[in-house]
A and B are shown apart, each in its own frame.
Chain A
Amino acid sequence: MSQRRFARSLAIRHLVCGSCNGCELEMNALAAPQYDISQEGWSIVASPRHADLITVTGPMTEAMRLAARRTLEATAEPVVVVAVGDCASGEGTWCGAGSAGAGAGQELKASIVVRGCPPTPDALREGLRAAATLLDERNS
């Protein structure tokens, strides 16, 4: 089977680290017929062992920090981390508020950042495409 056939398909594990869930509402919108990410060969997977991409939202919380790190450790290299939304990127409403961290994407060293509060589904799709390209490069 050719390499190309699998190129740009994505198995995504989603991590919520203190998000207001606005970012999750828009991530979920990607499954609507208007965007239908399954047509791109993208799916949300039930185990980090299956994931080649981690999407992460929120500023990071004290209670999630360990589970977030362990999720990342459980993935197989190469894996790409995508910071979804302003909070994860380090520029959002809740970054540094109370006991929140400075941005979950920053902490997990995201290589792709999708800005917005929350990002639109179109912006998310662009970000995920960029991540797929990056993953292809790292995999070849």
Chain B
Amino acid sequence: MYRERTVPLSELPAALDEAMHGALPLGCYATNRTVRTLLLSNVGVLALRTPLSVGEAWESLASRYPLFAYHEREMRALQGIELRSSPDLRPLYFRADAIPEAIIAEGKGVSVVVVGPVHAGIIEPGRFTMSTGGESVVHLDAQLSYSHRALEPWFEGRDALALAPQVARICGNCSVARSWAYARAIEGLAGIELDEGTEYARLILAEMERVHVHLFDLGNIAAGAGYGKATTAALGLRERINQLNHAVSGHRLLFDSIVPGGVRAGTLSDPASTRAILREIRDDIVRFTDAFFARRSVLRRLDGAGIVEESLARRFGAVGPSARASGIACDVRALAPYGAYRGVAFSEERASAGDVYARSDLRRREIERSFDLLDRALRELDIAALPMPAEIAAPPAGVITTVVEGARGAESLSLSLGSDGRVERLHVISAAYRNWPLVTRAMEGNIVPDFPLVNKSFNLCYSCVDR
């Protein structure tokens, strides 16, 4: 459910303090001069709606709640909203010849190491400036935005139903999750309820995405720990999921499998054989993770590396496995169940150490839970018929925010539609957007050579952050 409450700027801090109790903060975004601050709780999404008058500046929330810092810079860059008392006024987006200065530590014996934006592997662009004392990192500044394409302004005025393939391609790692959030936004505005079979099919597609992303992350963590054999094994297992993805949806990364109104025709046409293949892959994954997590010399490299305390994760509004590894309950599948998760009594995995080990082990357990869900949903799907996607005539005007749990955490999507079915505003807050500040904090006090390990234990995307 989506609710809005209008709160004037002067009353926002108090309203926010109150609304934060028991809720997961998602961030804020602006449409022209109206700012919406979003929170998710077990009754759904609450938007605190704050219209700014002409010339009125936004009183920054970032000093009190650092999680808003990035959002506020984005509102300034894209909607031209002036910020008051902001702790960080560096431009968020830039051209290649005007890269903002990195924040570096100063002091005796501090030296600075810069890497990026082009990296040694097959990874997205970002520039990392590490202030170091000896081998230890004192401060890490992450300069993202190299993938910024100003996509959100470009969405405006376009036909919402025709935009589904673009939404699926905002980011390849969270494609299914985002397509699901987009479909739910349109269906929510149109007042469409889906049948059980379709909801199970969507759950299956989302869990298959989670499994292949988690496997990839585990492989990358192994690489960061110098355990190449496990990287190759994880990639091999992920490849089998990708091949199965192709068999069930016609696309190895499941792009375009969830569409507004349902799932694409022809998807998951043989649940029984999908279930059988998944069982085989599951057995091999368990063999792989058992071996990985029994290897003491490797585990010692993960233990105590890149610690994120729970209080820090909370202050930055962290989500997903990275937040759960620090003890925060934030799995949208359990907090605010949607679709077929409503009927399966899902309970989330958590840990408390907040280090690379906790984030790795959490993924291992989540893969297990995903297979449980897959097995159950495929059995249900075998008996339920899967209809063609519902025809949606032009959806009515309105504003909505939907949230689904992607592999990296809460993926939220805000849509404002005009009366002609055109997009007035489409805004994405990805799990990676929420979690990037954690990476920089987690590195403090760690050694430079552990940067790949700590970074990969989050393995955040850039494309959905930069857009």
Contact = CB atoms under 8 A, between A and B. Distances in A.
Interface in A17-70: 17-29, 31-35, 44-48, 58-59, 61-68
Nearest to B170: A20
Interface of B: 93-97, 99, 117-118, 120-125, 145-154, 165-166, 169-173, 175, 216, 231-233, 235-236, 238-239, 242, 252-253, 255, 461-463
A-B CB proximity, top 5 nearest: A22-B172, A66-B96, A98-B150, A46-B120, A32-B235
28 contacts: A13-B118, A16-B125, A18-B149, A21-B173, A22-B172, A25-B172, A28-B235, A29-B239, A29-B242, A31-B231, A33-B232, A33-B233, A33-B236, A35-B239, A45-B120, A61-B148, A62-B96, A63-B117, A63-B147, A63-B148, A64-B96, A64-B117, A65-B95, A67-B125, A94-B151, A99-B149, A99-B150, A117-B169
B178 to A, nearest CB: 10
A105 B118 CA distance: 16
A110 to B, nearest CB: 17
Given A63-B117, A97-B154, 14 more contacts: A18-B149, A23-B172, A29-B239, A32-B238, A33-B233, A33-B236, A47-B120, A62-B94, A62-B95, A62-B96, A67-B125, A98-B151, A100-B151, A118-B253
A24 B117 contact: no
Contacts of A117: 169, 255
A28 B170 CA distance: 19
Given A25-B172, A99-B149, A100-B149, A67 B118 contact: yes
Contacts, number: 143
A18 B170 CA distance: 10
B124 A63 contact: no
Contacts of B461: 21
Given A21-B171, A25-B173, A66-B96, A15 B118 contact: yes
A111 interface: no
Given A32-B236, A59-B149, A24 B122 contact: yes
> How would you classify the secondary structure of chain B's contact residues: helix, strand, loop or mixed?
loop
A16 to B, nearest CB: 5
A44 B121 contact: yes
**Interface hub of B99, B233, B252 (most chain A Cβ within 10 A):** B252
A23 B178 CA distance: 18
Contacts of A65: 95-96
Nearest to A116: B252
B124 A21 contact: yes
Contact of A29 (B170, B173, B235): B235
A86 to B, nearest CB: 10
A31 B96 contact: no
Contacts of B462: 21
Contacts of A15: 118
A63 B93 contact: yes
B148 A21 contact: no
Nearest to B144: A63
A29 to B, nearest CB: 6
A65 B118 CA distance: 11
A118 B252 CA distance: 9
Given A46-B120, A98-B154, A31 B147 contact: no
Contacts of B242: 29
Nearest to A71: B118
B232 A99 contact: no
Given A63-B96, A71-B118, A22 B150 contact: no
Contacts of A29: 235, 238-239, 242
A48 B152 CA distance: 33
Contacts of B118: 13, 15-16, 48, 67-68, 71
Contacts of B96: 62-67
Nearest to A121: B239
A68 B117 CA distance: 10
